[in-house]
Amino acid sequence: MAKTLRVIDAHAHLGECCVFGLVSTEEELVRRMDESGIDATIVQPYPGAKNAAETHDRIADLCAKYPGRFFGLASVSPHGSHEAYRREVERCVRELGFVGVKLHTIGHAVNPLSEDGDLVFATAHHLGIPAMVHTGPGMPFALPSLCIPAAQKYPGLKIILAHAGFAVFSAEAQVAASVCGNLYLETSWCIGEDIRWMISTIGSDRVMMGADLPSNVPVEVAKYKALDLEPEVYNKVMGGNAIDVFKLSS
């Protein structure tokens, strides 16, 4: 019988990253999930993957090996051929079963307000999937407020602000989400009390836990546990919202 999904890590990576000098393996992802009680993880390539399409295939293999425990999220630079970009993201969604797409403002050097930035939002809107956007380090492109125009242009598109401003710009992420009801906050690297503030102001339906790095999984889980949230609220931010936004199933 398939395990009921309850706790979701909404932000993880697989493979190597030549931009940030990081490596995440399948074994490390599984081990950290088991240690911290994570039911499922949404996995994407690092922005510095040497071949994003190959990493997408590797993520698809991981999802097939652990059904219901991993879900893929496409991440490829929108610079270059727009048609090639659309084909790869559509392949990930239609053929590999991926549940979202990433706009990495710093890793791919993409301004959300640019034509290439709009390509990511437009593609996600066309495919009916949410778009995740890196926010925090990498200003000005990574400023949370730069996603407001896209949220207003595509009101039916759910946009997740990865890292919710990354502590330094958490207040700006909260303001952006207050302005646009289709902006969601994934809170990896945020201060615990800022997460509590986000939940209390924009509501428990638009905040979700994510870890970003395998070594950060136990830290983010402990951070939420320390907030002593009401059970209903805790269940939403620890998994329920990610399940709804990404349309996950066991």
CB under 8 Å to 37, separation ≥6 — which residues?
7, 221
Look at the pTM and tell me if it is higher than 0.85.
Answer: yes
Would you call 159 helix, strand, or coil by DSSP?
strand
CB of 18 closer than 8 Å to CB of 48: yes
Average pLDDT over residues 191-204: 97
> What local confidence, expressed as pLDDT, does residue 3 receive?
63
Whole-number Å distance between alpha carbons of 14 and 29: 8
Whole-number Å distance between alpha carbons of 209 and 141: 23
pLDDT tens digits for 131-185?
Answer: 999 999 999 999 999 999 999 999 999 999 999 999 999 999 999 999 999 999 9
Confidence of residue 1 (pLDDT cuts 50, 70, 90): very low
Number of alpha helices (DSSP H) and beta strands (DSSP E) in the chain:
10, 9
> What local confidence, expressed as pLDDT, does residue 39 receive?
97
8-246: CATH class: alpha beta
> What local confidence, expressed as pLDDT, does residue 249 receive?
84
**CB neighbour class for 171 (10 Å; exposed up to 12, middle 13-18, buried from 19):** middle
Q: What are the respective helix, strand and coil percentages of the chain, to the nearest 5?
A: 45, 15, 40
Residue 2 scores a pLDDT above 60 = no
Helix 26-36 with 217-225: angle, nearest 10 deg: 20
Quick count: other Cβ atoms within 10 Å of Cβ 131?
26
Residue 228 scores a pLDDT above 70 = yes
Confidence of residue 244 (pLDDT cuts 50, 70, 90): very high
* Alpha-carbon distance values, 101 to 60, 127, 182, 225 (Å): 14, 10, 16, 29
CB of 9 closer than 8 Å to CB of 33: yes
Give the residue ranges of DSSP H helices in the chain.
Answer: 26-36, 52-65, 82-94, 115-127, 148-153, 170-179, 192-202, 217-225, 231-235, 241-246
Helix 82-94 with 115-127: angle, nearest 10 deg: 30
> What local confidence, expressed as pLDDT, does residue 20 receive?
85
